[in-house]
Amino acid sequence: MAEIIKVTFIDGTEFCYKSPVNTVIAVLRKIGKERFPEITFMRGKNRVVSQSYNPKLKRYIKEIVPGWYYFNQTDTREKTNQLINLNSQFNLDMKVEVGMFKGTTDPSIPGTTRHKNRLVVTMPNGDVIDHESYRQVFADCIYRLGPRRVSNKANIEISKNQDLFSVTNPNGNRFQLDETLYMLIPFTARKAMKILNLIALRLKEEIKVEYLPMSNQ
């Protein structure tokens, strides 16, 4: 069972969802979009909260309110730090906790109960990759290991005549990593787990991949 985030506001409002990203989005909605321009946190070259929507990064972009988006390529630890920084920046007096809480599903965010199975990956440096979709976890893990490095040393055949990485995307079903590298996302969480374990073996990286069945509540 992965750790999740619980946030309690001074007025008693509490958010503790099974998916940490939904908790962050709920907090942002409560803060109000009038404050969004003041949030300048960055994740690489991307602002964490912005009005920019990049179709190439659509797997990582979550709508907060119409016209404003949250960049979700972060693990639970980074999300927690973002909330702590928001708390300090806006003097919100909210309590931010991380633990094995019994989270709920956020009914206001479409698709929160869609995935019955998920992955949680712990990287060699201790970072935990824990997104609402196993596809996001898989792609994030590849990014952190280095797409070119993985494609050079572990371009695994994941189905008949279908390698994990390709320089073209003729069928339009591949995830674009950069201008000349595309990746085929495994069709199931279990398959993704097997491939990540094989990649780790070939790269000699000590990563922990957990396959967590979920109930569709």
Q: Cβ(82)–Cβ(100) under 8 Å?
A: no
**What's the pLDDT band for 161 if we cut at 50, 70, 90?**
confident
Residues 9 and 94 in one domain: yes
Q: What is the pLDDT of residue 113?
A: 41
Q: Which of 5-14, 27-36, 51-60, 141-150 has the lowest mean pLDDT?
A: 51-60
The pLDDT tens digits of the residues spanning 117-143 come to 678 899 888 888 877 678 878 888 998
Range(s) of the domain holding residue 49: 4-99
Residues 49 and 129 in one domain: no
Residues 156 and 182 in one domain: yes
**111 in any annotated domain:** no
**123 in any annotated domain:** yes
Number of domains in the chain: 2
Q: Which of 99, 131, 150 is the last residue of a domain?
A: 99
Q: Which of 99, 132, 155 is the last residue of a domain?
A: 99
The pLDDT tens digits of the residues spanning 39-63 come to 999 988 889 999 887 777 877 888 8
Q: Give the contacts of 215 (CB within 8 A, at least 6 positions apart).
A: 116
Which one, of 41, 68, 34, 56, lies nearest residue 176 by Cα? 56
Helix residue spans in 60-188 (DSSP H): 76-89, 134-145, 147-153
3-state helix, strand and coil shares in percent for the chain, rounded to the nearest 5: 35, 25, 40
Q: How many CB atoms lie within 10 A of CB 158?
A: 19
Which one, of 126, 132, 158, lies nearest residue 144 by Cα? 126
Residues 146 and 80 in one domain: no
Taking the C-alpha atoms of residue 176 and residue 34, their distance in angstroms, rounded to an integer, is 33
Residues 90 and 174 in one domain: no
Q: 76-89 and 20-31 helices cross at what angle (nearest 10)?
A: 20
Residues 32 and 73 in one domain: yes
C-alpha angle 175-208-187 in degrees, rounded to nearest 5: 35
**87 in any annotated domain:** yes
Residues 152 and 197 in one domain: yes
Beta strands in the chain (DSSP E): 4-8, 14-15, 42-43, 46-47, 49-50, 61-65, 68-71, 95-99, 117-122, 128-129, 157-159, 162-163, 165-166, 175-178, 181-183, 208-213
Q: What is the CATH number of the domain that holds 66?
A: 1.20.1380
pTM over 0.85: no
Residues 125 and 202 in one domain: yes
Residues 89 and 142 in one domain: no
Q: Give the contacts of 140 (CB within 8 A, at least 6 positions apart).
A: 73, 75, 121, 129, 131
**109 in any annotated domain:** no
Residues 14 and 79 in one domain: yes
Residues 122 and 93 in one domain: no
Residues 93 and 135 in one domain: no
**92 in any annotated domain:** yes
> Helix, strand, or coil here: 68?
strand
Residue 115 structure tokens: 């995935």
Q: Give the contacts of 161 (CB within 8 A, at least 6 positions apart).
A: none
